[in-house]
Amino acid sequence: MLAKRRIARLIRLVNRIEDWILIIMLAVMVLLAVAQIAYRNIAGGGVIWIDPLLRTLVLWVALSGAVIASRNDNHIRIDFFAKYVSGKYYIHIKRLVHFYCVLVCTVIAWYSVGFVRMDYEYGTEAFAGVPAWITELIIPIAFGLMAVRYFLLFLSPPRTHNR
């Protein structure tokens, strides 16, 4: 019982850390975008590295949000089956979907590791001296975490509709 409580506390802590990382990245994005607009209007030109950094942050925010959404199976979905399939069959379909998500996320994580490794080996630069592999690191991490989360959802006790 004590171990379960510690695990639950650890999961809540990890969830809070994920939430705060996402909030901070989003706030930095907004502040940088506003600063870039101000620089362009006041000085007639912006800081050259802000635009590529903003594009990188969009990728990081999107994939971090996807990881957070996968926590409790809150991804956007076309829920055709929820409307027309009874509870018992719906649970099996949902498990099948979770398993499929595990497979897809695992494949993407696997191949993105190769992609990041390739940019690391070639020394590709993203912007302002920042190596491209650092900006791409979120891809295998996010899809790996989503694969783990969907695997846990696949193994978890069945739930009925998410309405």
Residue type, 114: G
pLDDT value at residue 163 = 47
Q: Which tens digits make up the pLDDT trace of 47-94? A: 899 999 999 999 999 999 999 999 888 777 666 666 777 777 888 888
* Residue matched to tokens 């929820």: 82
pLDDT value at residue 160 = 59
Q: List, for the chain, all residue ranges whose pLDDT scores fall below the cut of 70.
A: 77-82, 158-163
Q: Are 73 and 152 in contact (CB under 8 A)?
A: no
* Adjacent-strand bridge partners of 127: 130
Residue 99 burial (10 A CB sphere; 0-12, 13-18, 19+): middle
CA–CA gap between residue 45 and residue 135 (Å, rounded): 25
pLDDT value at residue 63 = 96
Angle at 99 between CA 159 and CA 8, to 5 degrees: 55
pLDDT value at residue 85 = 75
pLDDT value at residue 16 = 94
CA–CA gap between residue 86 and residue 45 (Å, rounded): 60
**pTM (predicted TM-score):** 0.85
pLDDT value at residue 161 = 53
Map out the domains of the chain as residue ranges: 2-155
CA–CA gap between residue 96 and residue 102 (Å, rounded): 10
CA–CA gap between residue 163 and residue 161 (Å, rounded): 6
